[in-house]
Amino acid sequence: MQIISVNTSTSYEVHIGSGLLESAGEKIATLFKECHVMIVSDDIVFPLYGTKLISSLEAAGFTCSNFVFKNGEERKRLSTIEALLEQMAAEHFTRSDIIVALGGGVVGDMAGFAASIFLRGISYVQVPTTLLAAVDSSVGGKTAVDLSRGKNLCGAFWQPRLVLCDTDTLDTLKPVNIQDGLAEMLKYGVICDKDLFYKVKDYKNGDMEALIARCVEIKRDIVSGDEFDRGQRMLLNLGHTIGHAVEAASEFTLTHGHGVATGLAIIARAAEKCGMAKTGMAKEIEEALTACDLPIKTDYNTGMLAELTLSDKKSSGDSISLIIPLDIGNTVIHKVLRTEVKDFIEAGK
């Protein structure tokens, strides 16, 4: 098992390893004493791991309730949060009680957001069960729900008190969900760790626990220096700005990781064509994405992708920040004029 300490406004540990669901109660009991726990999960994950988590928590003296919603991004809405908060109020949850998020990114983002606003803020623990949640969304305290105008438009920065990533839960993931996580893992490699990049490319022969831990360390280092996303944390958006546009163009039939993979390939080709990146970098990125069964191209037209890219919530004024890889392991934040975005995407398509 690996333990990574995160030092943000709230400091916490991320534990990564096998069998952590069984020891969750014991670990959570080192931080909280015999309180009421609301387990937030979805109807795919809860039947798989709910009983194991509850047994562990009850054995450690916790009283458990659960709130289980239908799996899928469509439920990541304020209406689901309202139902959860109403249930917690009806069950007399207090400020000393906690939420435990058992699931992937949607569950974690919503459970964290509910924790940030219930009684003006209570503690929560992340128990990620997807590779994407393990390496990205469970760490760093970004919580949110979607609004009709876009994803994650309503949320808060609210750090968890503990993250327990049981690597056994990855065994039940569909290939598409493994690929989604791999896209984010390759992203970390391109941002700042060449060695990680090649290890993720060859993940089938690697040690997944060690790879997850390295990704979490990178995220920890970036987030610790910019918890509230005003500077270097934007590096984590590598592949995301154009990737979100591809996801949106597909009306979200394309999964997040597949959108990120396409966005990463486009930005890499564009950076190389514009003379910013090292020659051969884009091909290396394409090869790694392909080795992870991820896409590198899209047929959506450039005008539509440019429009969707510019409607991203992070774009403001005359310019937009694009995250540009210069080489594997070296990525920068680069402002381009909004009027240049279409040509840039065209160069990378």
Token pair of 313, please? Answer: 């919530």
Number of residues that bind ligand GLY (CB under 6 A): 6
Angstrom distance (rounded) from CA 252 to CA 51: 32
Closer Cβ to ligand GLY, 28 or 163, answer by number: 163
Q: Measure the CA–CA gap between 98 and 165, rounded to whole angstroms.
A: 18
Nearest to 85 by CA among 55, 59, 65: 65
**Any contact of residue 125 with ligand GLY (CB under 6 A)?**
no
Report helix, strand or coil for 13.
strand
In terms of Cα–Cα distance, which of 231, 79, 239, 240 is closest to 154? 79
Q: Does 220 bind ligand GLY (CB under 6 A)?
A: no
* CA gap 130, 48 in Å, rounded: 13
Q: How far apart are CA 142 and CA 159, in angstroms?
A: 7
- Residue number, 60 or 222, with CB nearest to ligand GLY: 222
Nearest CB to ligand GLY, comparing residues 227 and 284: 227
**Which range in 112-120, 134-142, 248-256, 305-313 contacts ligand GLY by CB under 6 A?**
134-142
| Rg, Å, the chain Cα set | 20
165 contacts ligand GLY (rule: CB under 6 A): no
Minimum Å distance from CB 152 to ligand GLY? 9
User: Is 183 near ligand GLY (CB under 6 A)?
Assistant: no
**Is 136 a binder of ligand GLY (CB under 6 A)?**
yes
C-beta of residue 62 within 8 angstroms of C-beta of residue 28: yes
Comparing CB distances to ligand GLY, the nearer of 140 and 181 is: 140
Which residue reads 């005359």 in tokens?
318
Q: Is 75 a residue that touches ligand GLY (CB under 6 A)?
A: no
Is the distance from CB of 238 to CB of 215 less than 8 angstroms? no
Contact pick of 75, 76, 187, 233 for ligand GLY (by CB under 6 A): 233
Tell me which stretch binds ligand GLY (CB under 6 A): 68-76, 91-99, 113-121, 228-236. 228-236
| CB neighbour list of residue 97: distance below 8 Å, 6 or more residues apart | 35, 36, 37, 38, 88, 122
Which stretch in 32-40, 76-84, 136-144, 270-278 sits in contact with ligand GLY by CB under 6 A? 136-144
Q: Is 236 in the site for ligand GLY (CB under 6 A)?
A: yes
Nearer to ligand GLY, 109 or 286 (CB): 109
Q: Which is nearer to ligand GLY, 231 or 303 (CB)?
A: 231
Residue 88 or 211: the one with the smaller Cβ distance to ligand GLY is 211
Residue 227 interacts with ligand GLY (CB under 6 A): yes or no: no
Alpha carbons 235 and 241: distance in angstroms, whole number: 11
Tell me how far apart the alpha carbons of residues 118 and 124 are, in angstroms, rounded to a whole number: 11
CB of 262 to ligand GLY, least distance (A): 17
The residues of the shown chain that bind ligand GLY, judged by CB under 6 A, are 136, 140, 142, 229, 233, 236
